[in-house]
Amino acid sequence: MSQVSAEMKAKSEVYHGDELCQEKTKLLLKEVGLPNGLLPLKDIEECGYEKESGFVWLKQKKTINHKFEKIGKLVSYATEITAFVEVGKIKKLTGVKAKELLIWVTLNEIFVDDPPSGKITFKTPTALFRTFPVSAFVIEEPVKELKNKEEKEEEKQVKQVGNAVEVQEV
């Protein structure tokens, strides 16, 4: 049974399709100051965000497991994930479990400690927690190459140096 009601959808931004939902998910994570690789989902069918309460949801075709190689942890993402987001924090998280030793542990809160420390903490409903470096959940995004010479020309900055003009590539 879905936790996302028709009433909630009516007052939310709702998007459909994997490519658009991937983009919106990464944008939301960036806006709230969380690492962009925190939700490595595949085949997202729908995502939504209700700004007033911070409620978000993601629906994907099937449950997926993802191993975060930098920390050696396996995480399971259900077909529906819901949460409330605010700057630096995800609360009341549903649909996400992490494997600890031989058991799957439900996660219900994720937060970034004081940003300079670069630490991210994952909590369970039983108040157990684990802290890792934020860098373990960051995906390096490829730099988009400029498509044509005109775009390159627009990127040049002209800087006045005395009576001479110096052109620098950015």
Structure confidence by residue, pLDDT tens digits, 36-65: 999 999 999 999 999 999 999 999 999 999
What was the pLDDT predicted at 29? 94
Q: Structure pTM?
A: 0.79
Return the higher-pLDDT residue of 3 and 154.
3
Return the higher-pLDDT residue of 101 and 3.
101
Q: Which two tokens stand for residue 20?
A: 């658009």
pLDDT band at 4 (very low <50, low <70, confident <90, very high): confident
What pLDDT digit, counting tens, does each position of 106-131 carry? 999 999 987 666 899 999 999 999 99
* Cα→Cα distances 23→2, 96, 100, Å: 23, 20, 30
SS3 157: strand
170 pLDDT more than 70: no
What was the pLDDT predicted at 156? 46
SS3 63: coil
For residues 41 and 121, give the distance between their C-alpha atoms in angstroms, rounded to a whole number: 20
What was the pLDDT predicted at 140? 79
For residues 102 and 113, give the distance between their C-alpha atoms in angstroms, rounded to a whole number: 28
Which domains are delineated in the chain? 6-137 (2.30.240)
What pLDDT digit, counting tens, does each position of 12-41 carry? 999 999 999 999 999 999 999 999 999 999
pLDDT band at 168 (very low <50, low <70, confident <90, very high): low
Give the β-pairing of 73-86 and 55-60. antiparallel
Phi-psi region of 162 (alpha: psi -120 to 50; beta: other; left: phi over 0): left
What pLDDT digit, counting tens, does each position of 130-154 carry? 999 999 998 876 655 444 444 544 4
Q: Select from 139, 137, 101 the least CA-distant residue to 122.
A: 137
Task: For the chain, give the mean pLDDT.
Answer: 85
